[in-house]
Amino acid sequence: FSQGWDKLREETFARQKALGVIPQDAELTARGEGIPAWDDMPDELKPILERQMEIYAGFLEHTDVQLGKMIDTLYALEVLDDTLIYYIIGDNGASAEGTLQGTFNEYIVINGLNHLETSEFLMENIDKFGGPEAYNHFAVGWAHAMDTPYQWTKQVASHWGGTRNATIVHWPKGIESKGEIRSQFFHVIDVAGTVLEAAGLPEPTFVNGIQQKPYEGFSMLESFDNAGAPETHSTQYFEMFCNRGIYHQGWTACTKHRTPWQIGVVELPDIDDDVWEMYSPDDWSQANNLAAEMPDKLRELQRLWLIEAVKYNVLPLDDRLAERFNPDLAGRPQLIQGQRQMLFGGMGRLSEYAILALKNKSYAVTAEVTVPEGGAEGVIVAQGGITGGWSIYAKAGKPTYCYNFLGLEHYFVAGEKPLPPGQHQVRMEFAYDGGGIGKGGTVSLYVDGSQVGQGRVDQTEPFLFSADETLDVGSDDASATSPDYTPKSSRFNGEVNWVEIDIDEAAEDLDHLITDDERYRVAMGRQ
């Protein structure tokens, strides 16, 4: 990929026309505002940029091989010809969340702290990209190239670059046509209805006694063997972070409100000041904006977008980004209510939104453990992984706390003595500094109510530890939050009987112990 993303975009466009997957008169759209040219990138950064795209290409090949194994198995079972397969290539367009230079850890960007990741840092870690220590993401320019021939990228739901994906449908016994292109407009919500019709199944009206909402999509089945089949899905709205678009009978109107890689404190225009564009049915790549030439048609499409937005509960619009990952800041309901949560030994793979929100506040985590005769070792409870999180564990028998700040810094607090054999309460109290989000705090460790250690965490993650790492009791699965252990060595060698998480006022406890009566009240309050 040393030719860079601009040249790659031209090469891709030429291949698309040669394959016939785009019209011969389609135009290659111009580079969007803020997307840098390859030639404008610093020469010293280009080895990193090339590496990012090599990793993406390698993983795409890896994914293709795994899909091939599934296809081979269906063939061996002699059911391949009667299996309807959808292969949708993409995720709302290629992602531009990796900043202009790419990132070693995407959660640095999601938390709005990409200023911490310097070019020097990226160069120092070039050999770790694509490995178990990285959560890397390619640069914006590569995303734009992957969305050839369109404008923009994932998150920009206004334009085809943020919504349209190549799709292959395979069903030999159900489709007589072979190797043909279909151009009717369809949406991912049409897949379910197509599968039901293909299988001869009715749409469910009741499931377990609960009445179901009618499907909102349309079946694609008629188009499989009829290239001229009428378009059934004639109108579709799009919206993401206030990037908005509407498709109606071939026409598209769209407005880009927010840029994906601009996260953190960003000054955004008023929604009413967003500039709308409009493209005709014969403009396959949305290359020629007709908004100024046809204002009446544009107003018609804008009104239709608003009608659809009301119909499908898109309003009110909310253009916040990182804040929406944090339920406290977003102001939305969350799964766990109140200030206390009880967990038990063996529980694990609990997503971030299945746990009380601990960010930007004071909290306490208390665990009752049974230590074996040989001494304690391993994780008592941990949340997160290499991208960030916290862990309470025993190292050489001593209770230890680690806060992982985005993989860039690890803060440790350890007890002075090993835990003796028998049953004990291990407690960590985090006293948040306050004064805004992402601030630090003081960590205090207790064993059976007596303080055994204290230390500082200078900064915390304000919004999100991870999208796929979890909270685990008695281990730290997936990737390790602390460098003191590995996922395989993380399992606690004793018993973790229960863990209680307390936030805000509930975290204040003068004796730093949780009695059986207190646990009983928490348990009964959850019934």
Q: Is the pLDDT of residue 483 over 60?
A: yes
pLDDT in the model for residue 91:
83
Once rounded to an integer, what is the mean pLDDT over residues 441-454?
98
Return the percentage of the chain with pLDDT > 90, whole number: 88
- Residue 204, preceding peptide bond in cis (omega within 30° of 0): no
Cα dihedral across residues 107, 111, 114, 115: positive or negative: negative
CB 434 within 8 Å of CB 441: no
pLDDT in the model for residue 521:
73
Tokens encoding 475: 């281990």
Nearest CA to 48 among 117, 111, 108? 117
Going by pLDDT thresholds of 50, 70 and 90, the confidence category of residue 329 is confident
The mean-pLDDT minimum among 50-64, 103-117, 140-154, 157-171 falls in 103-117
pLDDT in the model for residue 526:
57
pLDDT, tens digit (0-9, with 9 covering 90-100), for 334-378: 888 899 999 999 999 999 989 999 999 999 999 999 999 999 999
Going by pLDDT thresholds of 50, 70 and 90, the confidence category of residue 322 is confident
pLDDT, tens digit (0-9, with 9 covering 90-100), for 115-161: 899 989 999 999 999 999 999 999 999 999 999 999 999 999 999 99
Once rounded to an integer, what is the mean pLDDT over residues 252-278?
92
Going by pLDDT thresholds of 50, 70 and 90, the confidence category of residue 114 is confident
pLDDT, tens digit (0-9, with 9 covering 90-100), for 510-524: 889 998 887 777 667
Q: Is the pLDDT of residue 89 over 90?
A: no
Please tell me the distance from the alpha carbon of residue 312 to that of residue 299, in angstroms, as a whole number.
20
Going by pLDDT thresholds of 50, 70 and 90, the confidence category of residue 525 is low
Give the three-class secondary structure for 64.
helix
pLDDT, tens digit (0-9, with 9 covering 90-100), for 65-78: 999 999 999 999 99
